[in-house]
Amino acid sequence: MALGFQRDLSGLDVQRKSVRELVTEADKAVEKYLVSEIIKRYPDHGILGEEQGERVGNEYRWLIDPIDGTTSFVHGEAYFGVSIGVEKAGAMVLGAVNFPATGEIFESEKGRGASCNGKAIRVSARDNLNDSVLATSFGCIGTTTADNNIAYFESINTEILSMRNLGSAALHLCYVGCGRLDGYWQVNIKPWDVAAGLLIVAEAGGKCSKFAGGPSDLSGDFIASNGKIHSEMVRRFKAVQIQVSS
């Protein structure tokens, strides 16, 4: 469905949620379809969607980002995906991200590993920053968000091999999960951004946390890595966080 909308971008209705946040008729249509299908099959489940908000249900909750990477989507780029995570009693148990333009589907189930197009994936084995490729984004800069990402970027950029900004949190996390990236961070994520990707990284052998090292609550600051460079990322970002807040 999403790919069908992208094939006719000239006629796509695009609006702004904020200075740097877009929403399209495709986002709304994809989420509406997914929600309707979930309700048919699991009428008692809760749902949290980026566009439609929250529907309260039982101990299960579906977290949906209908098009993660909307800016890439409206510019005709391939860096966008449909991300769906499922919680049970607050813990992620299922995650799936479909990247229609590249034909890759990443999936994970709690305790059963992660895969891409049916083949098991694992995080990279790189154990130092000098050899690592990391990803982040800078969408918060220029908005009303008090925090921005520059200080965190400066704290680590000179110590790593290279940086990437592919415009999609879900894509960054899936790439950490399959070893194409060694780590990812962001200063202001939302639950639907990372719900599926968090489980994919964890089930592929990686680690996710807050900047200070504690468990992620799917909001605010967020780090994902192959686990081997995680403590060093936490050390650097925690120091910056203390400096920024003082």
Active-site hit among 24, 47, 64, 70:
70
71 is catalytic: no
150 is catalytic: no
Active-site hit among 38, 47, 64, 67:
67
50 is catalytic: yes
44 is catalytic: no
Active-site hit among 65, 87, 182, 221:
65
CB 182 within 8 A of CB 126: yes
Active-site hit among 193, 200, 203, 223:
193
Active-site hit among 31, 68, 203, 221:
68
* Per-position b or e across 74-94, b if 16+ CB within 10 A of its CB: beeebbbbbbbbbbeeeebbb
CB 203 within 8 A of CB 110: yes
> Angle formed by the axes of helices 191-203 and 169-177, to 10°?
0
Taking the C-alpha atoms of residue 198 and residue 206, their distance in angstroms, rounded to an integer, is 9
Taking the C-alpha atoms of residue 39 and residue 19, their distance in angstroms, rounded to an integer, is 33
Q: Which of 135, 91, 109, 93 is nearest to 225 (CA)?
A: 135
Active-site hit among 31, 50, 87, 203:
50
13 is catalytic: no
67 is catalytic: yes
Catalytic residues, by residue number, are 50, 65, 67-68, 70, 193
